[in-house]
Amino acid sequence: MKQLAKVLSAASLALVTCFAAPSYAQYPERSIRIIVPFTPGGSTDILARSVGEKLSQAWGKSVIIENVPGAGGIIGTEKAARADPDGYTLMMGHIGTLGVNPSLYRSKNIDPLKMFAPVAWVAKVPNVFVVNPKLPVHSVAELIAYAKKHPGKVDFGTGGNGSAAHTATEYLMLKAGIEMTHVPYRGTGPAVVDLLAGQNQLMFTGVPAVIGHIKGDKLRALAVSSSKRVDALPDVPTVAESGLPGLAGFEADQWYGIVAPAGTPAGIVAQLNAEINKIIESPAIKTRFESEGAIPNPTTPQAFGSMIASEILRWKDVVEKAHMATN
């Protein structure tokens, strides 16, 4: 009887251990959802679909892209944060949703570092400074000199209040000591249309949105926001190359990455990170990203988390100094 009791006890312990142990080896066992907190067609959506397609092929499970737009990305962000932390709901975040919104929307109490587990830093997307050819400037230095002579008379368009383009332009104005007038639109597309028509005079936006117009000589590119020149626009200097003291070391790229709800098991995060890094380093995805003006950026979840933390602090300073915050 005692031997039987020992066997039963051991069996019971093994059964409990079996149910308690995380089944990372079987992940994923069903479809995965990637929330995109914006409408279809933008860079966030394009990158999410690129990664999702390859994840589906690698793991043999469907990856569903769910667009949840509204309130500058807040609605989708909150929905993703409330999801079960089981690895089956992810979000493609970016500089606005994870870096700027915590300071921009103070009443929302957005804290990405508490709401999410960083998974993978997918890509950086340099901004490019473009002007309508009728504006008589051909470099960043000339633009700054022109803006100082005409304070508040130069209009810059963006995809909306608090957008990545808006924040980057405010950052440039702070660094350069100039004043221009913000004209927010409901999306980057309409802002580009008006820029082409001369309704606004310049934009600081992601390369993909305007590269065709630059190469077609419909817009003039003054500079890119990255630390080095962009391969797709090799003749366009960086902002830092302007040689102006206030712009030394200037960098204001957009960035994108996958996050999961806080509490997602570290083992699942590690599996996702490894597979996504493999995807973005593959020749096919590198080529696809380059066509969209994106630069793959494989790294660890810890490094991605540290970058998010530093970006929150960086853009908090810009939001406060530029008086961009809302209630």
pLDDT exceeds cutoff 90 at 30: yes
**Taking CA 74 as the corner, what is the angle to CA 69 and CA 75, rounded to the nearest 5 degrees?**
55
pLDDT exceeds cutoff 70 at 260: yes
Is the full-model pTM beyond 0.95? no
Query: Token pair of 37, please?
Result: 């907190």
Tell me: domain 31-125+254-321, CATH 3.30.70.150, correct? no
Tell me: domain 127-247, CATH 3.30.750.24, correct? no
Which helix (H) or strand (E) segment is 35 a member of? strand 32-36
> Which of 4-18, 160-174, 251-265 comes out lowest in average pLDDT?
4-18
Interval 139-173: pLDDT, tens: 999 999 999 999 999 999 988 888 888 899 999 99
CA-CA distance, 215 to 219, in Å (whole number)? 8
Question: Three-state DSSP class for 201?
Answer: coil
Instruction: State the first-to-last Cα distance of the chain, in angstroms, to the nearest integer.
Output: 71
127-247 has the same fold as 31-125+254-321: yes
Q: Where are the domains of the chain?
A: 31-125+254-321, 127-247
**Four-residue CA torsion sign, 284, 231, 205, 296:** positive
Strand partners, 93: 257
Answer for the pair 134, 198: CB distance below 8 angstroms, yes or no: yes
> Which of 49-58, 67-76, 191-200, 299-308 comes out lowest in average pLDDT?
67-76
Q: What is the β-pairing status of strands 89-94 and 32-36?
A: parallel
